[in-house]
Structure 1
């Protein structure tokens, strides 16, 4: 149950974020427009990423001669499929960046995000400003992660599956880091995440991201893989 609630729901909602990752906001149905301020590191990284996607010969066999926008969208799908194939270190770098977007949401939209009800356009309203605010290092990390995930899928790297015992160890480490008064409620709220109110679902998800990124190794990696790689990336819990 925890696997479905703690991972699948977040993954379901996370996939539209791929389009924010790509920066694939179109000014028309056939034109790509960089959504970030020219002065921001994200703008420069998005420009380079866009060129990389268009000139990526390995993608040709997958996406064919699609339009630029369709090619970017296909890249987003490749990225989501490639994430379970990535090494843990890369997932750990990406986790706090996704967590910032989650932290920027109000409770209602955060809960909708967890429950898979937040529209892509609404998600972009939160995602783009956060990505635009990244410093040089974070912007490079964000877009380098995208490229790595796409390459992992195109090169058919093996999927790395998190053991259920390791996932539970990570979850229990988070629970133990909470005050005694929150320990039991966190575990019960996590088990019923998809059925909880927006307020409880949001609180639980933020704990997972915030506490997860500060765990010692190897638990930080366990949580990163659990939250970011979908059902393919971990055994059922």
Structure 2
């Protein structure tokens, strides 16, 4: 299957501390305990399902951060889905087709392209980074820095990881006269196994992590 980095939602204002606590509990890094008074009142600890329900209910979607138009809310998304209807088998009427897709975010029209990586896996959404590409960079960057991508991270950790990857890439770029790759969105014209090809992957992931980390989003390591 390989590694994919899937951006997570971010906590709504005022929910940050609880968001991180629930995350750590779900990840098995922390346990919840009832206070003495809650025990006296006969309260019970929430189940994993209840915690997840609370966690998702108090998130801001990644799609909102990407500024992706939404069907049923934004005109450009409405126009987009009408074009898609013309290419469909038209088993439904246009109005029913639009109703069926109400609430869909159109990533093709997203404004924040730094959150939409070039390196993606077949069948994944456009905002998911194909972390498996990073394995080709072992040798160019430290192996431990590569393997860190397999760790699910909250926003602060994701930003720190992105900054470290960026600093490493900057040093390699200066040594090899490849500074132009830092802001180049398209892959290098060189072979993937060349320094330029590998360095572009590192830069791309660093920018992706920085975008989401700065905007309050962590990522799930899916493999």
Which has the higher Rg, Structure 1 or Structure 2? 2
**Fold shared, TM-score > 0.5 on shorter chain:** no
Structure with bigger helix share is 1
Q: Which has the higher contact order (CA 8 A, sep 6+)?
A: 1
Smaller-chain TM-score bracket: 0.3 to 0.5
TM-score normalized by the length of structure 2: 0.32
